[in-house]
Structure 1
Amino acid sequence: MTLLLTPVSLADRVEVITPGGNASLTPPAASTEPSDAAVETFPRTTAATGSGGTTYSPAEMDTQPGLQTMHFGAASLACKVASSTTDLVVINQSPEPLPAGTRIKWQLKKEGTRGFFAIIGELGGGESLVADDVLDGQAGKDDICIARVI
């Protein structure tokens, strides 16, 4: 039997970070202690009007849904409020058909309403469908509608 002897090591203070736990994005308080990270703050400016200058403006993010966007070539959709204000008409403006199960995201700009649905059957190029009872009945027929394949 062999016994391995090693010299004793001295350690400095450590902070235990549990998985997914107590890590913070706030910078440490000013101190003379060494730090393993630095935080820089960049100035924010408003978007420039006119020419010249470098500006920063925050990006607008839409985090819903958590679905991956699929590429359907030149798939182009249009939509509008139907004659019944609870229904939405979606038109496939592209020449390529959309297969059954394709998910569509729609949004009414003025009302700020949006939603998602999957088509039941194939939607051919130039064809339209009526999505029944997806609106609350408050939308106007002139409301701007945007639709896309997700």
Structure 2
Amino acid sequence: MNRVIISLVFIVLGLLVILVPTYLLPVCAPMEVISPVVNVQTPAHVTVKYMKCHWTGQAEMGIGAVIMALGLLMLLSRSASVRLGLSLSIICVALLAAAIPTVLIGVCPGEMMPCHMGTLPALLLLSGLLVAIALINVLYLSRSHRQ
């Protein structure tokens, strides 16, 4: 029973890591930058500029997919040792999920930007939940494995 419940919790939290930067608390939208018109024969050129929070969102979607895959593997595994290893790997991936918006890539520097006010705290909360739940599962599985 523990295997099913904890696996579903990891799958749902992995899905939330994907949905937070895309739909629930999205990162900043790309900006269109229009180059000035030099002369009448040269039309203005429109390019898209992505803020660094966009790349944080992209990385977090990949990390969420990995968390979901680890949760699915945990659901399919009957061995307590394998589930223990998967829980340890979820701890590592969750720490990476927290490091991306804070240290590795970051979010926009403006404190009033949506990514700074919404996405960053939500991703840190989800990462903390993942670490805490996986750590509890590691302790549970290591105790049950000894007996």
Task: Specify the TM-score bucket, using the shorter chain as the normaliser.
Answer: under 0.3
More helix by share: 2
When the two structures are superposed, what TM-score results if normalisation uses the length of structure 1? 0.21
TM-score of the superposed pair, with normalisation by structure 2: 0.21
Higher relative contact order (CA 8 A, sep 6+): 2
Instruction: Name the larger-Rg structure.
Output: 1
**Where is the strand percentage greater, Structure 1 or Structure 2?**
1
